[in-house]
Each structure stands twice: as C-alpha cells, then as structure tokens.
Amino acid sequence: MMDFSLGLLGFFFALPAIYGLDPSQCITPLGMENGLIKDEHITASSSFDHGNVGPHHGRIRNELHGGAWCPLTPATPDLKEWIEIDLQDVHMITATGTQGRFGNGQGVEFAESYMLEYWRPRLNKWMRYHNRTGNEVLKGNINTYLESKSQLDPPIWASKIRFLPFSYHRRTVCMRVEIYGCRWTEGVASYSMPQGDKRGNSWEFYDISYDGHWDGEKLKYGLGQLTDGQVAPDDFKLAFYNTNAQGWVGWKNDTRENTPIDIVFEFDKVREFTAVHLYCNNQFTKDVQVFAEARVYFSIGGKRYKGEPITYDYIEDVIFETPRNVSIKLHHRVGRFVKIQLRFASRWMLVSEITFDSTSINGNFSEEEELEEKSALDDQIATPGINNKNVVSAVNTQGGLGNYLGVVVGILSVLVLLMIAAIIVVIIKQRRYKSSLRPSQVPSGCDKAVLYQEASLGRFSRSSDYADVKDSEYAVPLQPPTQNYRHPPPLLDFLPKPPPGPPPSERYYAATEICNTGFVPPPPPLSTPPPVRLSRQPRYVSNTSRMHVGP
Ligand SMILES: *[C@@H]1O[C@H](CO)[C@@H](O)[C@H](O)[C@H]1NC(C)=O
Ligand SMILES: *[C@@H]1O[C@H](CO)[C@@H](O)[C@H](O)[C@H]1NC(C)=O
Ligand SMILES: *[C@@H]1O[C@H](CO)[C@@H](O)[C@H](O)[C@H]1NC(C)=O
Ligand SMILES: *[C@@H]1O[C@H](CO)[C@@H](O)[C@H](O)[C@H]1NC(C)=O
C-alpha cells in the first residue's frame, strides 16, 4: 500500500517534466482542485465576503465555507470582476473548467459564460483570449454542480490567468475553476519574424494565433502557431476549408525580393542547443518547397550574433510532397537568442512548427553581454564572420612582427628613405599651392569619406569611453541610411589602449548638421508601445547574476 502511494506520488511529480510540447499530453490539472496552487496565489477583483466566498474558495470540486468565489457585483457585459491565478512560471494552458456554487445544495449561482485574460512576462500586459475564429466568450455552466470544460485552441502561454464572468444581462454569479496544461519547458519566451504572406485573394498564410505585437510587417514579443505543438495538414489547401486545421505560416519569395526570412527566437534563459526541428511543407507542384539553406546564429543579448553560423543545406526533393520534419544539429552552441535564416528554394516556403532541443545553463552571461551591447548600434547586427576575421588578422600581425624582426627592420629602413623623398616632394608642392584649402576644411562640401573616417576615428581614439553608449548614438546620424556602413570591428580589446582622448570636438556636431540632408530620423515610437524594449529585459536577468558594468 505504502509502495503504491509512493509510486503514484513519483508519477505525479514526474508529469510536468515528461510533458513537453505535445498538446494532447499537456492536460494535467494545474492545482486548483488539489491545492498545488496556494491560496495566496489566487486573488480576485472583489468578493462578496472574503472569509466565506473569497477567491481561495474558487477551487473546483472543493466545498469549504460558502463553496465558491462570489464577486461583490453581478456579472455584466462590462467584465468588471475576475478571479486570478498566479502560476509563477509560464505554463501552456490547454483547457479550462468551471463550476458554480453548490454549497451543499444551498447554492444557486453559476456563470453561464466567461472570458479569459492572461499575462506573460514577455508580453508584459493582460491579453484577452480568443479562439481561432475570434470568439472570446467561453461556455460556462448550466447548473451549480457539473463542471464545464473548454478546450483552448490555440493554447495559452501564461504565468497568470484570469476568469471573468460574463453575462449579457445582470446576473449573480459564483465560480469554482480549474486550469489544465503543463509547464512550458521549451523555454521559448517569444519569437519574431515577418508576418506571412497572402496567396491569391483569399488565402492568408498568416500566423493567426500569434499573440504579440504586429507593427504592420514584423511580429514581435509573442508566441503562436510555430510553437503551439499542432502540426498542420499535409495538404495546405485543406487548412483553408477546415478552420480547425490551419497551421501553415508561409512566405513568398517575390514579395521580399528573394531575401531570406529571419526568425528570431528568444528564450527564458541562456541555453545550450543540440538541435532544432522545422516542420516544413514540400508541395513542389504548387510552388512550395522546403528552404534551400538554413543558417542558425546564436546570441546572448540579442544584439550581436557571435561566431560562425551553423549552415545547413537542404537537398531539394521533387519526388515526395509530404511535409517533413527537418532536423538541424546545433553542436551544443550557447545563447539566449537564436536567429534562423531561411533561404527560398521555390516561390513559397511554409513552416508549421519549430522546436528546439536545449537545456538551460548557468553562467555570467549577462555581464559579458552588457559590454557588447553598449558598443553595438541599436539596429545593427554585426556580421560575425567579418568580426572574427579582423580579430584574427590583427593578432596575426602582432605575432608576425615578433617573429620576423629582421625583415621588419629592413622594410622600415626602406620606408624611412621613401618618407624622406615624400617630404621633399610635399615641400615643393606646398610652395606651389600655398593658397589652396585642404578639402576637409571646406564647409560646404560633404565628403562622405571624411565623415566615415571621423566617425571611426572618434570611436578608436576614445578607447576609455568604449563602453559609453553615447559614442554609438552620436555616430548614428552620420550614417547615411542608404549605405551599408559597417562599424569597425571592436579591435580595441586586442590593441594597447591609448590614453583617453578629448571629448568629441565641436566640428563633430557641426558636421552632423551640415550633412544631414540624407539623414532620415528614426521612426516615431509605435502608438501601441511595445511592452518591453528588446535591449533590456530586466525580468529575465536574474538579480544575482547581473553586474553593473562601466561608469
Ligand atoms: C470558437 O468558439 C466558438 C464558440 O464557442 C465555437 O463555435 C467555434 O467553433 C470555436 N472555433 C474554433 C476554431 O475552435
Ligand atoms: C520533429 O522531430 C523531433 C525529433 O524527433 C521531435 O521532437 C519533434 O516533435 C518533431 N516535430 C514534429 C512537428 O513532428
Ligand atoms: C521566386 O521563385 C520563382 C520560382 O523559383 C522564380 O522563378 C522567381 O524568379 C523568384 N523570384 C524572385 C524575385 O527571386
Ligand atoms: C560571475 O559573477 C560573479 C558576480 O556577479 C563573480 O563573483 C564571479 O566571479 C563571476 N564568475 C565568473 C566565472 O566570471
């Protein structure tokens, strides 16, 4: 008997770990009935009488005191009252259940319908839940004792959830609730990517269940179809005749001039990755094919993607049209951000699911990143390849100097002779062009090369301020948006640091004004402010590991 119950206990606690993504397995009651959710994590907008019908009595199949949570005011279409459950961590919630107040036969109150709102750190705001067809109202109870259970399709990812009793007419309600799901062990906090494209007039390969922000082009801060664990039907056309079977997100090559599609995944913590799996459509007779090439980049802070990307070429298959789960080995690379860059093989590319095999790891990653973030431009992602090469060549040059001193001395003496010759030439020329101005002193000219030089000189000469954000911010206006100017790589760490230079000269600012004809100011802040700036995520940086760097 003892063994049996211990075994049962073990099974019970093992459940959340076993249940990963598969939504058909992610159905465990999360603890209203059995008390895993503590009283202090259940709150409400109000209660008719806290001791008797307070929020902590809103547990399904529990009959203590009044026997349910009863709000102070009746339910109306205004949704003024709610009961909130704080799950502490992000969970995937696949179903909800409600009951009325039975109260040992005395109760008569129940909610005929309700709505859900949820909160997640990355969204940082309350979102109203709606199902795939846009319906927000969930069916509640028809009596005081039977549970009404609603499957949530799409599922909800949330660390807090609220039930809001709803009624078209004023109605006294009481509720007992339960939520079903599992811990979100995947660790994906959000993904961002371009919204899908339309095919023809009516077919939209949009990520319809995405719950983040859509700024008209890019999706940000949310989760949706790519992580919901639901595999789309083999034939993408089915998805449009049967709304329950949607699930392909698709992009068309010519609306984006064949540039690759970037999908950036942000994780809860720094993780070590062993593989990524992309479930892709391959209906080549309908212009859909698996990507031709995938590049996977890793970053700790989301600004800089360091190291060589992992490149994966997909050998095209024009024999079988069935969708396939393409797995790419990630060789234990480490990061909190993973950028997947997919190149088109055909006119269309359709993806339904992207999952990762990863484990979270500990270390001083945030510290390392702060240094880098400050030196990086806000909207610029350094090209890892270029960085590496420059660093390597700089180191090599230094080694070469040491090894071939004789050769260097020879070269230097030749240089000295050349310089003497050059000085003579210059002196002669100066006599002839005494009255000419040097080009950099001509104020009306806007020599781009001079500006570039200045910007980079500014960065290099003030090495002590290297970590200062201002540097890169001042440098931004000098950068004409039409050109692909790349910042000089951060060689400073490898070179001896010169003494701190003077602050930016007057001329530096003047040049900005004179030459700002091509400068387009950054777009104004979005009207719906994004909940969190990408550059800082205080929620995810644990206090203990975070270190203040710089002055
Ligand atoms: C959305 O909810 C409504 C009302 O409950 C239901 O009729 C509809 O089938 C649901 N849609 C999906 C896709 O589940
Ligand atoms: C793809 O394969 C991996 C590893 O076998 C698996 O974990 C994942 O669930 C699969 N994805 C789909 C959508 O079948
Ligand atoms: C898109 O793909 C189709 C088919 O592979 C190709 O014919 C077309 O040129 C591509 N469009 C662009 C803009 O590259
Ligand atoms: C990590 O950071 C802590 C302080 O935040 C420091 O004491 C420790 O030495 C660091 N460890 C490493 C390996 O850098």
- The secondary structure of 182-229 as a DSSP string is EE-TT-EEEEEEEPP-EETTTEE---TT--SEE-SSEEEEE--GGGS-
What single string gives the DSSP state of each residue in 448-490?
A: HHHHHHHHHHHHHH-GGGTT-HHHHHHHGGGS-TTS---PPP-
Three-state DSSP class for 307? strand
Region 246-272: what's the mean pLDDT? 91
Sign of the C-alpha dihedral computed for residues 319, 274, 211 and 35 taken in this order: positive
147 lines ligand 1 (CB under 6 A): no
**Best residue among 197, 199, 252, 253 to mutate for probing ligand 3, ranked by most atoms within 8 Å of CB:** 253
Nearest by Cα to 375 from 479, 298, 301: 301
Distance 345 CA to ligand 3 centre (A): 9
CB neighbours of 179 closer than 8 A, spacing ≥ 6? Answer: 29, 30, 32, 85, 87, 91, 93, 95, 96, 97, 161
By alpha-carbon position, which residue is closest to atom 2 of ligand 1? 135
Q: What is the pLDDT of residue 490?
A: 42
pLDDT grade for 217, boundaries at 50, 70 and 90: confident
Range scoring the smallest mean pLDDT among 15-24, 311-320, 364-373: 15-24
CA atoms within a 13 Å half-sphere pointing along the CA-CB vector of 319: 2
CB neighbours of 147 closer than 8 A, spacing ≥ 6? Answer: 60, 61, 97, 98, 99, 141, 178
Where is pLDDT greater, at 417 or 296? 296
Query: What are the residues facing 263 on neighbouring strands?
Result: 340
**Best residue among 326, 328, 352, 355 to mutate for probing ligand 2, ranked by most atoms within 8 Å of CB:** 355
Side chain identity at residue 434, one-letter code: K
C-alpha distances in angstroms, 413 versus 131, 419, 534? 79, 10, 53
Q: What is the pLDDT of residue 200?
A: 80
Region 275-295: what's the mean pLDDT? 96
Q: What is the pLDDT of residue 523?
A: 45
By alpha-carbon position, which residue is closest to atom 8 of ligand 1? 133
What is the percent of the chain with per-residue pLDDT over 70, rounded to a whole number?
63
Query: What are the residues facing 176 on neighbouring strands?
Result: 99
Region 291-302: what's the mean pLDDT? 95
Q: What is the pLDDT of residue 238?
A: 76
pLDDT grade for 3, boundaries at 50, 70 and 90: very low
Which residues of the chain form CATH 2.60.120.260?
21-183
Burial class (CB in 10 A: 0-12, 13-18, 19+), 382: buried
Nearest by Cα to 20 from 235, 206, 183: 183
By alpha-carbon position, which residue is closest to atom 11 of ligand 4? 364
Q: What is the pLDDT of residue 257?
A: 81
Q: What is the pLDDT of residue 418?
A: 79
- Provide the token pair at 319: 């024999």
Average pLDDT, the chain: 74
Say which DSSP state 522 is in.
P
- DSSP E strands, 56-212: 83-99, 113-119, 127-128, 138-139, 148-166, 176-183, 188-194, 198-199, 203-204
- Count the residues in the chain: 551
pLDDT grade for 236, boundaries at 50, 70 and 90: confident
Range scoring the smallest mean pLDDT among 6-15, 28-37, 192-201: 6-15
Region 334-355: what's the mean pLDDT? 96
Q: What is the pLDDT of residue 151?
A: 95
CATH number of the domain at 188-363, out of 1.10.3720.10, 3.40.50.10790, 2.60.120.1190, 3.90.1150.10?
Answer: 2.60.120.1190
Q: What is the pLDDT of residue 508?
A: 37
Where is pLDDT greater, at 531 or 106? 106
Range scoring the smallest mean pLDDT among 82-96, 279-293, 444-458, 493-507: 444-458
- Provide the token pair at 57: 């009595």
Three-state DSSP class for 436? coil
Where is pLDDT greater, at 516 or 239? 239
Check pLDDT > 90 for residue 142.
yes
- Provide the token pair at 324: 């396939």
Three-state DSSP class for 244? helix
pLDDT grade for 21, boundaries at 50, 70 and 90: low
Check pLDDT > 70 for residue 11.
no
The CATH number of 21-183 is 2.60.120.260
By alpha-carbon position, which residue is closest to atom 4 of ligand 1? 135
Which residues of the chain form CATH 2.60.120.1190?
188-363
547 lines ligand 4 (CB under 6 A): yes
Region 360-385: what's the mean pLDDT? 55
**pTM exceeds cut of 0.75:** no
Check pLDDT > 80 for residue 297.
yes
Check pLDDT > 90 for residue 173.
yes
By alpha-carbon position, which residue is closest to atom 6 of ligand 1? 135
Q: What is the pLDDT of residue 234?
A: 87
In angstroms, rounded to a whole number, what is the distance separating the alpha carbons of residues 234 and 242? 13
In angstroms, rounded to a whole number, what is the distance separating the alpha carbons of residues 53 and 38? 16
Q: What is the pLDDT of residue 370?
A: 52
Q: What is the pLDDT of residue 408?
A: 53
> Parallel, antiparallel, or unpaired for β 138-139 and 176-183?
unpaired
Check pLDDT > 80 for residue 60.
yes
Burial class (CB in 10 A: 0-12, 13-18, 19+), 337: buried
- Model confidence pLDDT, tens digit, residues 453-501: 333 333 333 333 333 333 333 333 333 434 444 444 444 444 444 444 4
Range scoring the smallest mean pLDDT among 219-228, 300-309, 315-324, 411-420: 411-420
Nearest by Cα to 224 from 263, 259, 173, 197: 263
Check pLDDT > 60 for residue 551.
no
Region 170-192: what's the mean pLDDT? 95
Lining ligand 3 with CB less than 6 A are 253-254, 257-258, 346-347
Ligand found nearest the CA of 230: 2
**Best residue among 98, 113, 131, 242 to mutate for probing ligand 1, ranked by most atoms within 8 Å of CB:** 131
Residue matched to tokens 């449009």 = 240
135 lines ligand 1 (CB under 6 A): yes
Q: What is the pLDDT of residue 247?
A: 85
- Provide the token pair at 463: 């090495």
231 lines ligand 2 (CB under 6 A): yes
Ligand found nearest the CA of 546: 4
Say which DSSP state 350 is in.
E
**Best residue among 227, 279, 350 to mutate for probing ligand 2, ranked by most atoms within 8 Å of CB:** 279
- Provide the token pair at 385: 């390849």
CA 469 to chain centroid, in Å, comes to 23
Neighbours of 311 (CB within 10 A): 11
Ligand found nearest the CA of 326: 2
Check pLDDT > 90 for residue 514.
no
What is the percent of the chain with per-residue pLDDT over 90, rounded to a whole number?
51
